[in-house]
Structures are given as C-alpha cells and as structure tokens.
C-alpha cells in the first residue's frame, strides 16, 4: 500500500483590519493590538456601532488590479487576489514560470461565506431607474465561486477549481478540502482560503436582529470583541481575506521550498440542531475535533494548543470550551486555548483561514497568540485561556501540534489539525 501523501504549507498571504500583509498582522497580534473601530454615520441608529474594518487608505489594490478588473470583481474577490499575491511571493512560486503539466496539477479552492448585501441593494436601486442601469457584472460579482475563478484565470491554473460556502466555517473547509485534493492525488499544489467583505448597514442590521453582535462596547471599540471573557456579549464583524499555498511534500522538497507547517488532519461534522445556535452539548464541535485527530493519525495527547473559533458570544464560547474538555479529557489541563478574534474581529467565512495563517506563524515562532480583552474569565469557561503571548513548548515528539476550529450557521463544523514540519 502506498504511503499517504503529506501536505505542507509553503506560502501565506492575508489582509485584515490589522494590516495588508502577514508581517503586520502577526506583529500586531503579539503587541496585543485590536483593529476594531467605530462605524461611520451611515450606520447611525443600529444597535452595534463597531466593526473590524480594513485600513483602506493603506491597501493599494491597484498594485495588482486594473480599473476593468475592479468593475467585474466584488470587494471580497479583490481581497482574495491581494492575499494570493502575497502567498505566491512568500512561497517563491511564480505560475508564469511553470510548465503546462505543473499548471494542470495546480488548483484553487477559495470560498466566500456571504456576498456583500450592498451589491444587491445598489443593483435594486439602479433597476428602479431602468433595466439598462443594472450592471452586466452584477451577477458575476455576487457568485461565491468567483474569487476561485478569477485566481485560476489570472494565473492559468487548471487543476481542481472548487469553491466552498459554509458560513463561518468556509475558510477552514476550503483548506481541508484543498488538503484532500493533494492527499488524494488530484493536485500537487493548491491555493486555498476565503475572502469576506460585507460590513454594510443591511448586514449589520441583519446580524443585530438575531442578537449576534456586540452592543455593550460601542464607545470603546477595541474592547468589544472579548472571547471567553465574563462580559462577552456578541461578536464584532470583520472583513478581509487569507490565502495559503498548500503543496505535496515531495513537490515542495524538489523545488527547495521553505516549509512553514503541515496539515495533518481534517474533521467535519453537523450539529443537526438549529439554524444559528450550536447544540448545547457541543457534540458537533467535539465530533469535528475527534475526526481531525483521527485523520491526522496522532494521539490526542500530542495536541498542546487549540486555536478556537470562539467569537465572543455567550453561548458559543461556552459550548466550544465544553467540547474541548470533552475531547481531551484529563489532558485538557495541558492544552492552551486562545481565539484571536479580539484583535481582528470575526471575518465570517474568512475567519478560519485567517486564523490558520496566524497559527502557521505561531508554529514558526514557537509563540501562542493571545485572546484579547479577557479581564475576567467567564465562570462557564473550563479551558486554559492564553491572555498574553506565550512560548509554545514542544511535546515529546519535538513537534508542535494544534487544532484549528471553525463553526458556522446551519450547524456546519470543521476542525483542522496543523503541526510544525518534521522530515
């Protein structure tokens, strides 16, 4: 029986409220900075007045995209293109220099959790003025698979072209699916991740109506997202994109790539419970973690850190913490846990992939990123939460192993097992 193909990470790119590159993102997380700010006047009257918005004046999107590109691409697609360029640069891989055979085994798996509702509202307003006022690019700009399509067309990538849209688990599912394409022999290289840009009045109003967003810290935005804290009261919407370049190990070694980490396993599950709330017993979350550990072919005691999905909602953080305790049992006392959403907000469908980029940096630097704004740990939180950057100690195998959790509306769950690379 042939040995299972190993999948490593050789490139990372990201744009978020903490900056337009991975270096700035990671440094600001270590500095315990938050990219959450006050919303503008167009959001007046809404219960939530904060969001993790991109520093757009610093984002030179025209560096990669022409005016005609901007017309046909949604904002989320533009951000995916931007992050892709950084991922390719860090991987030192230029598709223009690859031969046809390689391009045919180079795929894309990039998704989007939800499209920008302002696009729909704007098109409706134009329709009231006449049919011909509706842009011919309206529908293509909405489609969740268009980031995937544009990346593929831009670089001539003819491998698997696969898009994921599973709410807030989108980014993690995209990475897991891409890993399996490589492991199963469908591709040798994959660009994977997600983009999200839907901070608009209608989206904020919609999430406010289901009481999902923080409203208690409108005057102190930097403290609004506080995963695991006693006074957490809802998540803070964020925007951005993150793309990772995954590669089959031997392919990476042959081109002498710098290997940043390895994806060992991938677990999926469904809550089968409620459209927006996780199941109270945490069964769905626990199943995803159990399956990721099994798929990684490791023991649960090998895991020493969990990068949590925890979005700063009262129920969600509690249930995930209980699920982590259920999975690891007595070993949970040796598990460190944190959620970085206090820094960059909740990017919905682009949260799991952005947080995996952060996890890759944590592996590379032996530093565990902190949970921000934990002034007093909630009494219902049963895990060891990291509140300041910590040194990440190796286990007996001299390898760092972590889980990355992501959960979405509709009860869709994903867990990735990610580790430092050893030959």
Q: Which CATH superfamily is domain 264-419 in?
A: Thiolase/Chalcone synthase (3.40.47.10)
Q: Does the pLDDT of residue 244 top 60, yes or no?
A: yes
Q: Can you give the three-state secondary structure of the chain, one letter per residue? A: CCCCCCEEEEEEEEEECCECCHHHHHHHHHCCCCCCEECCHHHCCCCCCEEECCCHHHCCHHHCCCHHHHHHCCHHHHHHHHHHHHHHHHHCCCHHHCCHHHHCCEEEEEECCCCCHHHHHHHHHHHHHCHHHCCCCHHHHHCCCHHHHHHHHHHCCCCCEECCCCHHHHHHHHHHHHHHHHHCCCCCEEEEEEEECCCCHHHHHHHHHCCCECCCCCCCHHHCCCCCECCCCCECEECEEEEEEEEEHHHHHHCCCCCCEEEEEEEEEECCCCCCCCCCCCHHHHHHHHHHHHHHCCCHHHCCEEECCCCCCHHHHHHHHHHHHHHHHHHHHHCEEECCHHHHCECHHHHHHHHHHHHHHHHHHCEECCCCCCCCECCCCCCEECCCCEECCCCCCCCCEEEEEEEECCCEEEEEEEECCCC
- The catalytic residue among 48, 109, 148, 168 is 168
Mean of pLDDT values over 390-403? 84
Residues 73-129 pLDDT 10s:
999 999 999 999 999 999 999 999 999 999 999 999 999 999 888 899 999 999 999
In the chain, ranges of CATH 3.40.47.10 domains: 7-255, 264-419
Residue 116, pLDDT score: 86
Sign for the CA dihedral angle at 180, 291, 272, 198 comes to negative
Q: Does the pLDDT of residue 397 top 80, yes or no?
A: no
Q: Can you give the three-state secondary structure of 303-343, one letter per residue? A: CCEEECCCCCCHHHHHHHHHHHHHHHHHHHHHCEEECCHHH
Q: Does the pLDDT of residue 222 top 60, yes or no?
A: yes
Residue 277, pLDDT score: 87
Residue 279, pLDDT score: 87
Q: Does the pLDDT of residue 395 top 70, yes or no?
A: no
Residues 134-156 pLDDT 10s:
999 999 999 999 999 999 999 99
pLDDT band at residue 9 under the 50/70/90 scheme: very high
Mean of pLDDT values over 240-254? 98
Residues 34-44 pLDDT 10s:
999 999 999 99
Residues 330-359 pLDDT 10s:
999 999 999 999 999 999 999 999 999 999
Residues 268-315 pLDDT 10s:
999 999 998 888 899 999 999 999 999 999 999 999 999 999 999 999
Q: Which CATH superfamily is domain 7-255 in?
A: Thiolase/Chalcone synthase (3.40.47.10)
pLDDT band at residue 212 under the 50/70/90 scheme: very high
Residues 405-419 pLDDT 10s:
999 999 999 999 999
- Whether residue 198 lies in the annotated active site: no
pTM above 0.95, yes or no: yes
Residue 2, pLDDT score: 73
Average pLDDT of the chain is 96
Two tokens at 417? Answer: 């097992």
Residues 140, 47: Cα–Cα separation, whole Å: 32
Mean of pLDDT values over 179-207? 97
pLDDT band at residue 3 under the 50/70/90 scheme: confident
Residue 423, pLDDT score: 86
Residues 280, 315: Cα–Cα separation, whole Å: 8
Q: Does the pLDDT of residue 1 top 70, yes or no?
A: no
Residue 106, pLDDT score: 98
Two tokens at 23? Answer: 């270096």
Mean of pLDDT values over 307-333? 97
Residues 353-387 pLDDT 10s:
999 999 999 999 999 999 999 999 999 999 999 99
């Amino acid at each position: 029986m042939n040995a299972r193909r190993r999948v490593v990470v050789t490139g990372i790119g990201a744009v978020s409220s903490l900056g337009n590159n991975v270096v700035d993102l990671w440094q600001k997380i270590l500095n315990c900075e938050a990219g959450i700010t006050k919303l503008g006047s167009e959001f007046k009257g809404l219960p939530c007045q904060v969001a993790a918005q991109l520093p757009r004046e610093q984002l030179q999107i025209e560096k990669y995209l022409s005016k005609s590109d901007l017309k046909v691409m949604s904002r989320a697609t533009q951000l995916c293109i931007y992050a892709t360029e950084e991922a390719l640069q860090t991987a030192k891989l230029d598709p223009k220099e690859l031969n046809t055979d390689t391009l045919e085994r180079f795929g894309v798996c990039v998704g989007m959790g939800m499209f920008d509702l302002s696009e729909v509202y704007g098109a409706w307003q134009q329709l009231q003025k006449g049919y011909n006022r509706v842009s011919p690019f309206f529908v293509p700009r909405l489609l969740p698979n268009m980031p995937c399509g544009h990346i593929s067309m831009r670089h001539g990538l003819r491998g698997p072209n696969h898009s994921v849209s599973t709410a807030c688990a989108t980014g993690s599912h995209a990475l897991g699916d891409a890993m399996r394409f490589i492991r199963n022999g469908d591709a040798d290289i994959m660009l994977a991740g997600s983009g999200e840009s839907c901070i608009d009045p209608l989206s904020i109003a919609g999430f406010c109506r289901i009481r999902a967003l923080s409203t208690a810290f409108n005057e102190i935005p930097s403290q609004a997202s506080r995963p695991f804290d006693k006074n957490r009261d809802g998540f803070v919407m964020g925007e951005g994109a993150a793309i990772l370049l995954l590669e089959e190990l031997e392919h990476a070694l042959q081109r002498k790539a710098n290997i940043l980490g390895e994806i060992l396993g991938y677990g999926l599950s469904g809550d089968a419970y409620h459209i927006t709330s996780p199941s109270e017993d945490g069964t769905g979350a626990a199943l995803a973690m159990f399956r990721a550990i099994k798929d990684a072919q490791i023991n649960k005691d090998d895991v020493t850190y969990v990068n949590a999905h925890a979005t700063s909602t009262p129920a969600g953080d509690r249930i995930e913490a209980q699920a982590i305790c259920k999975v690891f049992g007595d070993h949970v006392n040796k598990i460190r846990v944190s959620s970085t959403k206090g820094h960059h907000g909740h990017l919905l469908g682009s949260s799991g992939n952005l947080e995996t980029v952060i996890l890759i940096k944590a592996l590379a630097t032996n530093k565990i990123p902190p949970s921000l704004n934990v002034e007093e740990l909630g009494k219902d939180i049963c895990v060891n939460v990291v509140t300041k950057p910590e040194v990440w100690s190796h286990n007996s195998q001299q390898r760092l192993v972590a889980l990355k959790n992501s959960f979405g509306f509709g009860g869709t769950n994903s867990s990735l097992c990610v580790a430092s690379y050893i030959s």
